[in-house]
Amino acid sequence: MTKRPPLIFSAFNEFVLSHHDHGAWRRPDSRQTELNTTGYWIDLAKLLERGRFDFLFFADVLAPYDLYGGNRDAAIATGMQTPVNDPAVLIPILAHETTDLSFALTENILQEPPYTFARKISTLDHLSGGRIAWNIVTSFLPGAGRNLGHSGLPSHEERYGRAEDYVTAAYKLWEASWDDDAVIADRERGIYTDPSKVHTVDHVGPYYDVPGPHLTEPSPQRTPFLFNAAASGTGIEFAGKHAEVLFTSGGREGAPASIRTLRAAAVAAGRAASDVKILGGLGVVVGSTEQEARRLDAELRDIQSLESILVKLSGFWQEDLSRYELSSTVADILNDGSPGPLAKQVLSGAPDVSWTFETLVRWAANRHVVGTPEQVADEIDAWQDAGIDGLNLQYLVSPGSFEDFVDQVRPLLVERGTMRAEYEPGTAREKVTGSGPYLPERHPARRIRAEFAQRRAAGLPVNADAPVVDTPRVDASPVDAHHPIEERA
């Protein structure tokens, strides 16, 4: 029997009070109210490194959830992803305090121009020794679009057109602006960089014009390790072309079909199926006995804020869930034809149509594994049997959920070979893929690098006959608030 590689483990988090826990910050054993202190985050990063987690993954949002009840009051009152701080400022502190844990930063393509973003990522990659990943998102909250200078959230199609143009401009800066040997640091002659080996990129796209050159010398990975989540056809096509780690949003039962779809998208983009790693999402409640685990789970459910759950699901499902009576049954809601497409999808998947709407939303927010360390380890092994490459582990209370996992579940997973015993050396990309620090030659960013080198050698302009995307240049930002959600943060 072929030995399987260990799974990738990522700790799913956000620079907020409340992420997936819906009120567990009120527990006396929670440190989540310390979100504005470096001590809490440093302790968490060190815990994750002790547990040999591959990533501390930071989700992000750029606006309060404001669909529930038609305003943002409930989100602010319950602390549901508001307040939310900037993880890019925190990551260098955590990188300084760790040696092997990598950090995934979520930043959406509306947030800042690709020119300044490329510099920020290169700086983070330098300061962390190559332990930086970028989770590419296009935003799903209309308030984010308004706060970033748009009349609302650009349409689904425009956001992906922008994303294609954005990553292409960034790739050119990271991969094609500075030669590998541009920096010579010649103290004798007083020359730090050979000017002939630093180039403009002259990017002209439908949304962004970026002449360059890149402001930062090549970082350990050049292009950061790339994450993406996708659900729509357009999103899956984009993810298959660009991402190195992809998320599947379905449960374990739906994972094999989702994995086939995502790997096929990579192959269709000229990459190998093995070029992408697929991660599922999982929350766990661990007890020394099954009875203790269920008691802990009951305590967590008792302290949960139903309002917080409804706030978040309103954002995910893109409709105001306050319009549904909590006592209405799933069958009644489906029969009256009122739910939107995303809510209808969840309602249709309910195990029992006689459930009340309150039961359904609590179920949707609590689909985690509850059991002994052995039972949790068995569930994780079952995920690997389903073909998954790793898991994004969600906390129910922090840092307790991660402490329980590291101290009780990890030893079993290491013994089974499901979790790595020690880190591999190198950058985030090297640790996860076992290859070099740079993107493989099949990736579009590396193809850009090769193409630019060929054009320069031939004395040709770098952007001649090389359109960035197939869409025409546009200046408008039409609003479409009823779009499929491509990412959850």
Tell me if 340 sits within 8 A of 481, measured CB to CB.
no
- Phi, psi angle pair for 55, to nearest 5°: -135, 145
d(CA 338, CA 349): 16
> Could you tell me how many helices (H) and strands (E) the chain has, helices first?
18, 13
| DSSP H helices in 179-227 | none
Tell me if 144 sits within 8 A of 65, measured CB to CB.
no
Tell me if 56 sits within 8 A of 45, measured CB to CB.
yes
Q: Report which secondary-structure segment, H or E, holds 58.
A: strand 55-59
Q: Report which secondary-structure segment, H or E, holds 160.
A: helix 156-176
User: What size, in residues, is the chain?
Assistant: 489
In the block, tokens 């379905």 appear at 250
Closest CA to 456 of 255, 179, 222, 260: 179
| DSSP H helices in 272-389 | 290-303, 306-317, 330-335, 341-348, 357-365, 373-385
Is 60 annotated for ligand binding? yes
Question: On the CB side of 94, how many CA atoms lie within 13 Å of its CA?
Answer: 32
User: Within 10 Å of residue 141's Cβ, how many Cβ atoms?
Assistant: 23
Is 359 annotated for ligand binding? no
| Secondary structure percentages of the chain, helix, strand, coil, to 5 | 45, 15, 40
In the block, tokens 């092994």 appear at 381
Handedness of CA 164, 169, 173, 177 (dihedral sign): positive
DSSP code, position 407 = I
| DSSP H helices in 79-155 | 87-97, 114-128, 142-147
Is 314 annotated for ligand binding? no
Is 322 annotated for ligand binding? no
Strand, coil or helix: 36: coil
Is 477 annotated for ligand binding? no
Binding-site positions = 60, 106, 156, 160, 232
Binding-site positions for FMN = 60, 106, 156, 160, 232
